[in-house]
Chain A
Amino acid sequence: QSALTQPPSASGSPGQSVTISCSGTSSDVGGYDYVSWYQHHPGKAPKLMIYEVSKRPSGVPDRFSGSKSGNTASLTVSGLQADDEADYYCGSYGGSNNFVFGGGTKLTVL
């Protein structure tokens, strides 16, 4: 159960788009369409932004989108806003009733 691999940081200017990658293996990301993404403002509860690779929970803006190719999933944030500045974590079902997170990516809005 190794952590999924995310870049430690990403950045973009307001209005721009940024994509965060999440690399795993065929035992987790590549093996199931159960990739999720979480937004975490320090000191607050993490918030589910994407589930089942590309689905958005009610209330999450369509500026947030997810995709997957092979063992790598991606989160794209379009039309960056100041409030998007946060830590983002991917997560994946890892088989055998296990779950694994990525190491997290700090998104900075310049």
Chain B
Amino acid sequence: GQQLNQSPQSMFIQEGEDVSMNCTSSSIFNTWLWYKQDPGEGPVLLIALYKAGELTSNGRLTAQFGITRKDSFLNISASIPSDVGIYFCAGQTNAGGTSYGKLTFGQGTILTVHP
């Protein structure tokens, strides 16, 4: 099935460093979302973006919805050990078509933070 192109696949950083990851698609999405998944758990929403060009922050997290509506990035500033996990981008189309808002996910970025 279709998946978004997410990079990097993995990152190993020191505590306190900033992190950046991005996601691209060949298709346009109306909404971009970023989820975090811990081992043995389901994805948890971090940030949702609803408008092209939108820049949104949630604490140390900042995400942007690309102007072309085909890409998004997520930045994490001053990383801490609890940031460890897998980060997924997801694109969502509105229910105006037949997608019913189903999500298309990237392959994930595995983040490891060394204390």
Q: Do A and B come from one complex?
A: no
Q: Residues on B close to A: CB < 8 A?
A: none
